[in-house]
Structure 1
Amino acid sequence: MHIDFIIQRFKESAKDEAIIWNDTVYDYQHLIDRYEFWLNFLQTKTKASSVVAVRADYNPDSISLMLALIENGNIFVPFSFANKDIDEKIESAEVEYYIKFDTKGDFEFIETGIDATHELINELKVRKNPGVIVFSSGSTGKPKAALHDYTHLLNKFRTKRATLRTITFLLFDHWGGINTLLYILSNTGVIGVPSIRSAEEVCEFVEKYKIELLPTTPTFLNLILISKAYLKFDITSLKVVSYGTEMMPESTLKAFNKLFPDITLKQTYGLTELGVMRTKSESNDSLWVKVGGEDYKTKVVDNVLFIKAKTSILGYLNAASPFDSEGWYDTGDRVEQKGEYIRFLGRENDIINVGGQKVFPAEVESVLMQIDNINEASVYGTTNPIMGNVVAVKIIIEKDESLNKLKGKIRKFCKDKLESYKIPVHVEIVEQTTVSERFKKIRN
């Protein structure tokens, strides 16, 4: 009923490659078989419209289970292996059943004893529509349980489009990862699941399976550049690298584009509360981008992006509604405008206030990473009794260099490229900067 169009496409492509997992290629007939198993399992083991959490990475069974949950009208709560505080999130999402996969694909089925009674969940049950609950990152406080009506999200996949051989780099519970997965499946493309998400492993996987699309983060792209894994493995099968989830330093974008001018670099934009929007970059090495699509309206108020979407969440299960009286959502993203294009400057909560002047870490990082011998820079604010805050940075260097020499190089290089209050006052050389399990930079 809900995904008949997807299953029909699977049947038409039954003998085609579908998933590469654990160095084994599975066809679409295998997905159909496992989908039918899981549909029967859910109808036998769970109540109608119940809330079911799944902890997994992408594998043939977890993917087939997700599709079966949609078709069966369940509310799906994905958790990746990297997800923390799952017990607390199970309570927030009112999870009634919990299916835990291990890395081999074996699973455990648990009845939690929880009865889902939240008014938003009941609203979805009355509609008899499937749902999905995705948790926010919690970077600005307690992770919020955002409830979507899955039927709204599926509409954009009904029109069949071209697809590429794609790595599922973003995690099982990442909104961009779910969107990519549904796009590839609905167009009967090929999904590749690397066993380890490291620069070397991913580049090797790209070479071995002729991967064409890598959806990733700016931090991971820079790790590829630093590691020089692209010299060890041939990644020229890549046609598109899409990036999002955090700010892209312009220097990283230009460096990657210079090395791989034939790879299209595409900036993506999506939010847990709204879904993933269509984007169009001004050029391959430009951070200017158009954001929107037929289901979205955008406006900029005081340099902050606001969005109204047909695919908005029904609401949070553990927090107040994030929308104003007219349905607009404050993204918290600072932008500048140029005609139809915008350029993201940074999140409002990342801004460093130096004596009343605003500093965006990504701007400073982009300049610093142009300096010889600097591989990575992580900029953050640190308290100062006079200015309130000053700019600090943790630096990874390629070759040994004294701290005093490095500080001098930074001051000299930045003098005519940054206002004086943006130039780092505190500089620290480190072996590695802090990166989350989702390959996003953690500034501290």
Structure 2
Amino acid sequence: MSPREIFALRDYLSPELKGRTISDAHHVVSLTDVLSHTVLGGRLRELAGRSVLLKLSDQLKSGLAMIELDGVARRMLLCPPDLNPDHLDALIADAEIDAVVTDDPGQWTEKAIALIVTAQLPLSASAPAKTERATEWLMLTSGTSGLPKIAAHTLEALTGAIVAEGPARGSAPVWATFYDIRRYGGLQIFLRAVLSGGSMVLSDPHEALGDHVARLNERGVSHISGTPSHWRKLLMSGAAAKFAPGYVRLSGEIADQAVLDGLKAAFPTASVGHAYASTEAGVGFAVNDGLEGFPADYVGTVSNGVEMKVVDGSLRIRSRRIAHAYVGRNATALADCDGFVDSGDMVELRGDRYYFVGRRGGIINIGGLKVHPEEIEAVINRHPDVRMSRAKSRKSPITGGIVVADVILADGTDPARAKEIRDQIVTQCRAQLASHKVPAVVRFVDALDVTPAGKLARSDA
């Protein structure tokens, strides 16, 4: 987008495109109504040119507020639902927030915020808004227990991969995601729904998985994304048998061969693939050949405006889709002097393919040796009776540390086979892993914790 031609989300909501909706478990809103209605009580003009923090209790009001604010506000900071309230003051200062959009105005009475605007449903009639400026989109990074970093994007960067793919073919898609749209992965799906002329069905953290799938079917969802942990939970639930999307995508975690094969078996007619993206690096690439990892020739070439290289085992990305800066009083450089973002995702070249082995910051220590738990889990998950696993370290008075693996067995597995399966898992690990990576303890569990971002929760015992 050139400075002379600035587009906002509302510019993709043509009133001629009837039947488009955005819905959650409680409401269905016509996307075309957004052009002449407001979720902000008619107070959009008061937010023009301001730095706005969006702190709302649900995704639907958040998505509608994003559409209204884009092209009007100077910047907007998207707050995920699990944001630590102790971080709010620092984030408000770093993002120079001077207005808040909320559905709980009482929460802000003690804050020194110039303007508080309440978002509410149902929508009320309002004069159509005009696009005035390129709004800066601020998103919080995940994966840290401390103060999250604020990454700044333009709408052009956020939608670069969507625009590159071109318009949707055939009938308008109905999109859904297990992500929250206030996180990068979920926001990508929300933007795809708006730009593709489709509809969007939002998740609800309080909804039982079976009820969620029933609602996805009722709304005719055709395209859906989530983390591998999201998909493993669905496969374990048995609800996948009642669902038949045509487009299935994974992102946010390593997509190992077991989960890719499981999804292909569950949805044999669907296009199943995995994508690489992060809040800082933007959308990097997609892999649609049914295999884990990605072809080696993705590195060192420019494809769809994305260039990648591997430095000391870490994947680095340069493109117009990356965030343009960290925002804040102590913000560091987001990219290096050549414009590459260090993703922190470690890869390993095996033959003609790169494989993800884990996060640089997620390494566990086993007797002084560094181990990526995801590498161990990928081997365990290949066992036909395993649905999901998590590897972690535990202190040992003899070796200093051992690997402990918590494993969820596939539905219908005979409990009497527990010892047999445990022995097979250990044998499989010994055949494919270095000795210090082999689990000393394999425990069968009923569930594994997943973070609000949909990723496997990791902490050493």
Normalized against structure 1, the TM-score is what? 0.83
Separation in structure 1 between the aligned mates of residue 71 and residue 107 of structure 2, nearest angstrom: 19
Q: Deviations over 1:17-61 (max 9, x none)?
A: 2223336543333221235x64951213x36232333324321x4
Separation in structure 2 between the aligned mates of residue 69 and residue 293 of structure 1, nearest angstrom: 32
**1:230 partner SS:** helix
Contact 1:376 1:396 (8 Å CA) reproduced: yes
Separation in structure 2 between the aligned mates of residue 48 and residue 262 of structure 1, nearest angstrom: 48
**1:268 partner SS:** strand
The amino acid across from 1:300 in the alignment is V
Quick one: structure 1 residues 100 and 12, their matched pair in 2 at CA, closer, same or farther if it must change by over 3 Å? closer
Partner in structure 2 of residue 314 of structure 1: 325
Quick one: structure 1 residues 34 and 403, their matched pair in 2 at CA, closer, same or farther if it must change by over 3 Å? same
Partner in structure 2 of residue 166 of structure 1: 175
Quick one: structure 1 residues 156 and 5, their matched pair in 2 at CA, closer, same or farther if it must change by over 3 Å? farther
Separation in structure 1 between the aligned mates of residue 317 and residue 212 of structure 2, nearest angstrom: 34
Which one of the candidate residues 132, 137, 146 is aligned to 1:132? Answer: 137
Partner in structure 1 of residue 103 of structure 2: 101
Separation in structure 2 between the aligned mates of residue 267 and residue 108 of structure 1, nearest angstrom: 42
Q: Deviations over 1:349-395 (max 9, x none)?
A: 22334456543322322322343644321111233455443221122
> What stretches of structure 1 of length at least 5 have no aligned partner?
117-126
Separation in structure 2 between the aligned mates of residue 187 and residue 363 of structure 1, nearest angstrom: 37
Partner in structure 2 of residue 202 of structure 1: 212
Separation in structure 2 between the aligned mates of residue 31 and residue 370 of structure 1, nearest angstrom: 47
Partner in structure 1 of residue 224 of structure 2: 214
Separation in structure 2 between the aligned mates of residue 280 and residue 412 of structure 1, nearest angstrom: 31
Separation in structure 2 between the aligned mates of residue 199 and residue 14 of structure 1, nearest angstrom: 31
Q: Tell me by how many angstroms 1:424 deviates.
A: 0.3
Contact 1:265 1:285 (8 Å CA) reproduced: no
Contact 2:210 2:239 (8 Å CA) reproduced: yes
Partner in structure 2 of residue 49 of structure 1: 50
Map of 1:83-94 to 2, 5 A cutoff? 83-85=83-85, 87-88=88-89, 89-94=91-96
Partner in structure 2 of residue 22 of structure 1: 25
Normalized against structure 2, the TM-score is what? 0.80
Contact 1:171 1:177 (8 Å CA) reproduced: yes
Contact 2:72 2:133 (8 Å CA) reproduced: no
Partner in structure 2 of residue 362 of structure 1: 374
The amino acid across from 1:200 in the alignment is G
Which one of the candidate residues 342, 356, 360 is aligned to 2:354? Answer: 342
Which one of the candidate residues 250, 255, 259 is aligned to 2:257? Answer: 250
Contact 2:257 2:382 (8 Å CA) reproduced: no
**1:182 partner SS:** helix
Moved more, 187-196 or 212-221: 187-196
Map of 1:324-339 to 2, 5 A cutoff? 324-337=336-349
**1:321 partner SS:** coil
The amino acid across from 1:316 in the alignment is V
Contact 1:2 1:151 (8 Å CA) reproduced: no
**Identity in percent:** 22
**1:414 partner SS:** helix
Q: Tell me by how many angstroms 1:413 deviates.
A: 3.6
Separation in structure 2 between the aligned mates of residue 364 and residue 253 of structure 1, nearest angstrom: 17
Separation in structure 2 between the aligned mates of residue 224 and residue 392 of structure 1, nearest angstrom: 25
Separation in structure 2 between the aligned mates of residue 29 and residue 410 of structure 1, nearest angstrom: 54
Partner in structure 2 of residue 13 of structure 1: 16
Separation in structure 1 between the aligned mates of residue 349 and residue 195 of structure 2, nearest angstrom: 34
Quick one: structure 1 residues 22 and 443, their matched pair in 2 at CA, closer, same or farther if it must change by over 3 Å? closer
Partner in structure 2 of residue 68 of structure 1: 68
Separation in structure 2 between the aligned mates of residue 293 and residue 83 of structure 1, nearest angstrom: 35
Quick one: structure 1 residues 313 and 39, their matched pair in 2 at CA, closer, same or farther if it must change by over 3 Å? farther
Separation in structure 1 between the aligned mates of residue 162 and residue 408 of structure 2, nearest angstrom: 42
The amino acid across from 2:82 in the alignment is A
The answer to whether residue 451 in structure 2 is matched with residue 442 in structure 1 is no
Quick one: structure 1 residues 266 and 359, their matched pair in 2 at CA, closer, same or farther if it must change by over 3 Å? same
The amino acid across from 2:327 in the alignment is Y
Quick one: structure 1 residues 387 and 34, their matched pair in 2 at CA, closer, same or farther if it must change by over 3 Å? farther
Please report the RMSD computed on the Cα atoms of aligned residues, expressed in angstroms. Answer: 3.3
Aligned length: 423
Q: Tell me by how many angstroms 1:71 deviates.
A: 1.3
Partner in structure 1 of residue 121 of structure 2: none
Separation in structure 2 between the aligned mates of residue 268 and residue 198 of structure 1, nearest angstrom: 27
Q: Tell me by how many angstroms 1:423 deviates.
A: 1.3
Separation in structure 2 between the aligned mates of residue 5 and residue 143 of structure 1, nearest angstrom: 27
